[in-house]
């Protein structure tokens, strides 16, 4: 009852003037009326006591929280109510966790990357609850932490070290302002491979001579399964077992042949041959 009486008394002091009538505010009289209304509003604030001004500020804070609740329900749903503490801090200047928040945040979304690499240092990025703390794990060991951006929730780790040559498992968790920890997301599996692929050429032999009307020279060999092979910058056909073949047309005289095998991690092995052809 006391609070309602205080609010009524406060409203009587700061209430705006009578509703605007249809007045041409470009006219001389319209400009005069508009100036009077502005002056009355400014005088209303000046006539308030210190306690009245505190009551007004408190009322504005309450209105701000109500707007925040409605916005959270509209944009985020019922779970958005757990983040109202952040809106309250915006109006009060207070810091600290959101009281009563016991709901774990959703797990982070890790952006997909190549499952194979030849470098120990990689970058990991993704999205999570805005302003939350992201903890990164490599092979089950905590390696780094960062804070997701307050707006969109994006985050990144620019120098993640892969400790094991071979398969490495990367996961991450989210910790919100109340200390709730998310479950870990789907794992990222990244294979560190520093070794170039095996490459063997069965034909032709280096410095081999060819003659006759047939200028078609067959290049054949083998490499590791899953690798790609280029002969003089043209793609060769590689079978499932790693064998490959390619045919090119020889020119008169010396012909240089460059064969490059590349594995999934980007490692390369190169062999260069020279043959001669005469009609």
pLDDT per position as a tens digit, 63-116? 777 887 777 666 655 545 544 554 444 444 444 455 567 889 999 999 999 999
- The domain segmentation of the chain, as residue ranges, is 2-92, 109-192, 199-278
Q: What fold characterizes domain 109-192? A: Immunoglobulin-like (2.60.40)
Sequence-ordered list of residues with C-beta below 8 angstroms from that of 62, at least 6 positions apart, any chain: none
Residues 189-218 as b/e (b if ≥16 CB within 10 A, e otherwise) read ebbbbeebbebebeebeeeeeeeeeeeebe
Whether 151 has a pLDDT exceeding 80, the answer reads yes
What's residue 38's pLDDT? 55
Average per-residue pLDDT for the chain: 81
Nearest to 128, CA basis, from 183, 73, 169: 183
For residue 125, give the 3-state DSSP assignment: strand
Instruction: Identify the pLDDT of residue 25.
Output: 46
Least confident of 5-19, 93-107, 108-122, 152-166: 5-19
Give the total residue count for the chain.
Answer: 279
Please give the structure tokens belonging to residue 279: 């009609």
Contacts of 255 (CB under 8 A, 6+ apart): 217, 274, 275, 276, 277
Average pLDDT over residues 15-30: 51
> Residue 28: which pLDDT band, with cuts at 50, 70 and 90?
low
pLDDT value at residue 88: 47
Residues 234-261 pLDDT 10s: 999 999 999 999 999 999 999 999 999 9
Task: Compute the average pLDDT of residues 217-232.
Answer: 96
| Predicted pLDDT of residue 264 | 95
Name the residue with tokens 């050429």. Answer: 201
> Which class is domain 199-278?
mainly beta
E strand map for 111-239: 116-117, 121-127, 133-138, 141-147, 154-161, 166-175, 188-192, 199-203, 209-211, 216-223, 228-231, 234-235, 237-238
Other CB atoms within 10 A of residue 246 CB: 20
CA–CA separation, 250 vs 271, rounded Å? 18
Q: Report the percentage of the chain scoring pLDDT > 90.
A: 58
- Report whether pLDDT(15) > 80: no
Least confident of 47-61, 148-162, 177-191: 47-61
Residue that wins the pLDDT comparison between 79 and 199: 199
How is residue 148 written in tokens?
């997701």
Q: Rounded to whole angstroms, how far apart are CA atoms 57 and 50? A: 11
Closest among 159, 213, 153, 162 to 188, alpha carbons compared:
162
Predicted pLDDT at 210: 95
Tell me the β-bridge partners of 154.
127
Q: How do residues 33-46 score in pLDDT, each as one tens digit?
A: 555 555 555 545 55
What whole-number distance in Å separates Cα of residue 74 and Cα of residue 63?
17
Greater confidence (25 vs 274) lies with 274
For 176, counting Cβ atoms within 10 Å of its Cβ (0-12 exposed, 13-18 middle, 19+ buried), the class is: buried
Instruction: Judge whether 109-192 and 199-278 match in fold.
Output: yes
Token pair of 232 as six digits: 């003089």
> pTM of whole model > 0.75?
no
- In this predicted model, which residue has the larger pLDDT, 102 or 47? 102
Backbone angles phi, psi at 77, to 5 degrees: 100, -170
């Amino acid at each position: 009852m006391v609070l309602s009486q205080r609010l009524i008394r406060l409203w009587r002091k700061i209430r705006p003037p009578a509703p605007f009538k249809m007045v041409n505010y470009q006219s001389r009289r319209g400009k005069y009326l508009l100036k009077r209304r502005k002056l009355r509003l400014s005088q209303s604030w000046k006539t308030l006591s210190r306690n009245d001004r505190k009551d007004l500020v408190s009322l504005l804070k309450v209105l701000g929280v109500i707007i925040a609740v409605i916005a959270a329900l509209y944009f985020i749903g019922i779970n958005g109510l757990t983040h109202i503490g952040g809106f309250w801090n915006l109006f009060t200047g207070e810091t600290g966790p959101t009281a009563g928040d016991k709901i774990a945040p959703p797990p982070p979304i890790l952006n997909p990357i190549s499952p194979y690499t030849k470098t120990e240092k990689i970058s990991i990025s993704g999205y999570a609850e805005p302003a939350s703390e992201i903890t990164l794990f490599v092979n089950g060991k905590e390696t780094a932490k960062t804070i997701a951006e307050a707006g969109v929730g994006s985050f990144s780790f620019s120098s993640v070290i892969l400790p094991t040559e071979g398969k490495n498992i990367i996961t991450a968790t989210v910790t919100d302002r109340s200390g709730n920890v998310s479950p870990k997301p789907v794992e990222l599996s990244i294979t560190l491979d520093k070794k170039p692929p095996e490459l063997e050429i069965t034909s032709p032999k280096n410095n081999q001579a060819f003659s006759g009307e047939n200028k078609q020279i067959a290049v054949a060999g083998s490499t590791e399964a899953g690798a790609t092979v280029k002969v003089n910058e043209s793609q060769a056909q590689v079978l499932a077992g790693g064998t490959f073949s390619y045919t090119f047309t020889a020119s008169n005289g010396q012909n240089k042949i460059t064969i490059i095998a590349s594995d999934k991690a980007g490692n390369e092995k190169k062999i260069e041959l020279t043959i001669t052809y005469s009609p």
